[in-house]
């Protein structure tokens, strides 16, 4: 069978994770079952070991190529931060709080973010049905396969988080399409939003240089990213929107 990443005809793995296990760290219950809330019916389902799929990736692509991005991101998201990565917090005059990370590896961090979206797009699981990258799926595959994260404005990803806002972080929302404002143009671009374990990933599906749309919240080539802390009321809106119900007030 053909590997979806390297495109070689080879033996494929029977279990590839669509989203990295470590992002679910906070989401396992005391029996180590994943709390997985489905958008369509807002019904808790328990999945023993996360969302995975057979026959999409070969061992090399999963265990080496994708794994190098995941391993790197895990050190940033979960493990003790080691230099040159530095994490600081600050509050702007308007009261908004941010986590600022410096010293990141632009290529690995960005490709990790894109790998989440790309794997959702190639997945046949119903949970990921709304992610269809179309012609951009191939462009992102090439970036992941070649280890080239491209320019700043090439498929930029904005990260934010709603930890510590009295909102449940034990949620994996079904990814969905959104409209993203595009600077300097009248139309709104297609984007996707992923909500995983208190983190919100917002992607702008463009390979044009539109990085000004997200401004400082996109990782720079110098390895700096500003991660806004979503205020409680906005977090409520995001979660209610995800579930199409007024669950949180
Ligand atoms: Zn492969």
Q: Are the beta carbons of 92 and 109 closer than 8 angstroms?
A: no
pLDDT surpassing 90 at residue 6: yes
Q: How many domains does the chain have?
A: 1
Q: How far is the CA of 61 from the centre of ligand 1 (A)?
A: 4
Residue 234's φ and ψ, nearest 5 degrees, are -70, -35
Q: How far is the CA of 66 from the centre of ligand 1 (A)?
A: 10
Residues in the chain: 249
Q: How far is the CA of 59 from the centre of ligand 1 (A)?
A: 7
Q: Are the beta carbons of 54 and 14 closer than 8 angstroms?
A: yes
Whole-structure pTM value: 0.87
Q: How far is the CA of 143 from the centre of ligand 1 (A)?
A: 14
Q: How far is the CA of 50 from the centre of ligand 1 (A)?
A: 22
Residue 8 lies in a domain: no
User: Domain span at residue 85?
Assistant: 16-243
The predicted-structure confidence for 48-88, as pLDDT tens digits, reads as follows 456 789 999 999 999 999 999 999 988 887 767 778 888 88
Residue 135 lies in a domain: yes
Q: How far is the CA of 220 from the centre of ligand 1 (A)?
A: 29
Residue 131 lies in a domain: yes
Give the CB-side neighbour count of residue 177, counting CA atoms within 13 A. Answer: 11
Residue 7 lies in a domain: no
The pLDDT score that the predictor gives to residue 28 is 45
Q: Which one has a higher pLDDT value, 42 or 184? A: 184
Q: How far is the CA of 110 from the centre of ligand 1 (A)?
A: 20
> Mean pLDDT across the stretch 84-107?
90
Residue 126 lies in a domain: yes
Q: Are the beta carbons of 195 and 172 closer than 8 angstroms?
A: yes
Task: Give the C-alpha separation, 186 to 115, whole Å.
Answer: 29
Residue 11 lies in a domain: no
Q: How far is the CA of 57 from the centre of ligand 1 (A)?
A: 5
The predicted-structure confidence for 168-204, as pLDDT tens digits, reads as follows 766 777 888 988 876 666 667 889 999 887 888 999 9
Q: How far is the CA of 54 from the centre of ligand 1 (A)?
A: 13
Q: Please, which residues have CB within 8 angstroms of residue 90's CB and are 6 or more apart in sequence?
A: 97, 98, 100
Residue 117 lies in a domain: yes
Q: Are the beta carbons of 195 and 168 closer than 8 angstroms?
A: no
Q: Are the beta carbons of 229 and 97 closer than 8 angstroms?
A: yes
């Amino acid at each position: 069978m053909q590997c979806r990443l390297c495109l070689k005809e080879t033996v494929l793995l029977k279990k590839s994770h669509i989203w990295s296990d470590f992002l679910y760290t906070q989401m396992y219950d005391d029996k180590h079952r994943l709390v997985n809330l489905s958008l369509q019916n807002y019904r808790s389902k328990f999945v023993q070991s996360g969302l995975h799929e057979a026959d999409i990736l070969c061992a090399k692509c999963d265990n080496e190529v994708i794994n190098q991005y995941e391993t790197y991101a895990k050190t940033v998201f979960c493990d003790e931060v080691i230099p040159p990565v530095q994490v600081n917090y600050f509050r702007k005059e308007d009261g908004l709080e941010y986590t600022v990370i410096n010293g990141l590896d632009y290529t690995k961090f960005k490709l990790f973010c894109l790998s989440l979206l790309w794997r959702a797009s190639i997945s046949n699981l119903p949970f990921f049905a709304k992610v269809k990258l179309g012609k951009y799926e191939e462009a992102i595959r090439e970036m992941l396969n070649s280890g080239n994260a491209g320019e700043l404005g090439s498929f930029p990803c904005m990260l934010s988080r709603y930890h510590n806002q009295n909102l449940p972080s034990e949620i994996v929302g079904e990814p969905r399409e959104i409209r993203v404002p595009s600077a300097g143009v009248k139309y709104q671009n297609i984007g996707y939003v992923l909500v995983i374990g208190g983190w919100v990933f917002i992607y702008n599906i463009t390979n044009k240089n539109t990085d000004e749309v997200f401004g400082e919240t996109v990782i720079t080539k110098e390895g700096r990213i500003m991660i806004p802390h979503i205020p409680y009321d906005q977090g409520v809106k995001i979660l209610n929107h995800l579930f199409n119900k007024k669950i949180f007030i």
